[in-house]
């Protein structure tokens, strides 16, 4: 009786997974507020900027469409990985996680190329007010998202390595589930940010 009374409510795996999932939902809710505030700040700056700062701006880098496709594809690979482990298909899980990780890195590579390619002509051709608008708009929005992608790649790499060692099964895959939740979130956030930039730049 004493052991039962003193045992932790999170001793069981199911309770641990439930607690972890709830904690991640709270974390994603906080990030939603953060990104929402960033988008709102963008529109506040857009509405308050001089008209010359938001009119006749160069078109967004075409590479953003490529990076969007890469991120969508990575979410598809992540979904494949999650579905695979639920059906106890370890090899497909490993491949899905590896593809997700590589596509995430490719997304960052294309984003970096877009930043570099767009920076030089903008600096040479735009007024100070236009440059300030773009620095607080395009570069901030895409930059904070990229930082969160980098942050997501760290646990994703760990989970991928653990999957390669056979650490997951249909009855134990919490790490895969958490990574999938976060990756889907990043995908959704990027679509909102991209739409915002298309409308406001």
Domain membership of residue 54 (yes or no) is no
Kindly tell me if the per-residue pLDDT of 56 is higher than 90: no
Looking at the 3D structure of the chain, how many domains does it have?
1
Give per-residue pLDDT as tens, 97-114: 999 999 999 999 999 998
- Give me the CATH number covering residue 72: 1.20.120.80
CA distance to 45, 129, 156, 185, per residue, from 50 (Å): 10, 7, 43, 34
Domain membership of residue 6 (yes or no) is no
For 22-30, what is the mean pLDDT? 93
Domain membership of residue 59 (yes or no) is no
Domain membership of residue 99 (yes or no) is yes
Domain membership of residue 161 (yes or no) is yes
**In this predicted structure, what is the pLDDT of residue 156?**
96
Domain membership of residue 1 (yes or no) is no
Domain membership of residue 177 (yes or no) is yes
Give per-residue pLDDT as tens, 185-201: 999 999 999 999 888 76
Domain span holding position 156 = 64-201
Percentage with pLDDT > 70 across the chain: 80
């Amino acid at each position: 009786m004493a052991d039962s009374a003193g045992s932790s409510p999170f001793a069981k795996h199911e309770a641990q997974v439930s607690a972890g999932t709830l904690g991640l939902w709270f974390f994603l809710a906080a990030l939603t507020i953060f990104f929402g505030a960033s988008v709102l700040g963008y529109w506040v700056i857009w509405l308050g900027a001089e008209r010359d700062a938001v009119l006749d701006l160069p078109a967004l880098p075409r590479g953003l469409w490529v990076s969007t496709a890469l991120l969508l594809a990575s979410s598809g690979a992540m979904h494949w990985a999650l579905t695979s482990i639920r059906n106890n298909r370890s090899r497909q899980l490993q491949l899905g996680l590896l593809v997700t990780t590589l596509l995430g890195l490719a997304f960052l590579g294309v984003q970096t190329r877009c930043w570099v390619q767009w920076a030089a002509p903008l600096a040479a051709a735009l007024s100070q007010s236009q440059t300030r608008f773009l620095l607080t708009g395009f570069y901030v929005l895409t930059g904070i998202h990229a930082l969160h992608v980098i942050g997501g790649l760290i646990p994703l790499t760990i989970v991928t390595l653990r999957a390669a060692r056979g650490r997951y099964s249909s009855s134990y895959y919490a790490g895969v589930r958490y990574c999938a939740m976060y990756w889907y979130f990043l995908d959704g956030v990027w679509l909102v940010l991209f739409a915002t930039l298309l409308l406001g730049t």
